[in-house]
Structure 1
């Protein structure tokens, strides 16, 4: 019963994070501008066939975790439809966080695969203990790269995996997890 109440509390926090961020009209433009500031991402904006942007993904868990966010998909810099991301994870995890996520599509094949209806990344292991200035996760098979705090000399290396590259930037919160989780995406053409 205690776990169920905790999970419900985390769910309400996630919903609150998602809806409170939805009130801001320019959230997509701001998220794109924030990602463009990161040197690790700039080359992807220049060469990608398209991308999906999720300004706020709320994530939380206590044993069982969940994440949700809504986004937009762009092809050649032009809006092509709406998308949502959801995630369910089972394993040791505690806390909640919010982050932004962007997925770059290398070519038409990757874009078409992602926008075919319901797309799902394979399960991946992750360990997030704190939020940092620029936190990046790359690939669809669990490879990751991290960028350090502002002023750090740490540099992330990024590349396409299976035609896609994923970056996340922590917005706030604190979460410890050692869990296996897979993200699912939906797409609705405009």
Structure 2
């Protein structure tokens, strides 16, 4: 018997995706901790790692209007997958809001991974759009930088796109971490 994507009902997909997200959030990795002090401590450690490992990101953060640091995103999938993490938006290196990142996927996938990422908002408009939304998803206006570019992100890179995304610190068994389909929502810890 062959099952196509058309055979999946929306309710079944959402239920399965919800179960996958619950599995990810329930892992013993601290992702589910909703304490502001814990999130801020993780953001500090992530920022320090990023700046020390990829020196060009220090200048990028200085030039950005705001930076969203997501210190730990856990992703798992077996046909249906999900990802979840929490982080903080900083303006002038001061936390102004906390956010969660969620993602649900369906398709050929098996494995799990963890990674960190940072979104550098290079314009006031990009930052305002992010903060004003009830949920913001990564779109075509985001420029992806690779970790090896983190040492040399130049002015020409940041003038072209209003948001620069850097995924780093991957570990696990799923190849490639991207931010496509990730939804960011403001949370109150």
- RMSD in angstroms over aligned alpha carbons? 3.5
Does the CA-based 8 Å contact 1:89-1:181 persist in structure 2?
A: no
SS state at 1:182 partner: coil
Aligned residues: 165
Matches within 5 A, 1:8-27: 11-19=22-30, 22=33, 25=38, 26-27=41-42
Q: 1:109 to 1:13 in 2, by over 3 A?
A: closer
Which is richer in strand? Answer: 1
Q: 1:54 to 1:180 in 2, by over 3 A?
A: closer
Tell me the residue number matched to 1:140.
142
Q: 1:155 to 1:47 in 2, by over 3 A?
A: closer
Of structures 1 and 2, the larger Rg is shown by: 2
State TM-score, norm by structure 1: 0.70
Which is richer in helix? Answer: 2
Give structure 2 stretches of 5+ with no counterpart.
1-14
> What is the distance in 2 between the residues matched to 1:17 and 1:171?
18
Q: 1:184 to 1:18 in 2, by over 3 A?
A: farther
Q: 1:21 to 1:163 in 2, by over 3 A?
A: same
Q: Does 1:118 pair with 2:130?
A: no
Tell me the residue number matched to 1:170.
169
> What is the distance in 2 between the residues matched to 1:46 and 1:180?
23
Q: Does 1:50 pair with 2:66?
A: yes
Give structure 1 stretches of 5+ with no counterpart.
124-138, 149-153
Cα deviations by residue, 1:111-163 (Å, 9 ceiling, x for unpaired):
1111112111238xxxxxxxxxxxxxxx726x553529xxxxx9775734641
With 78-87 and 172-181 compared, the bigger mean Cα shift is at 172-181
State TM-score, norm by structure 2: 0.70
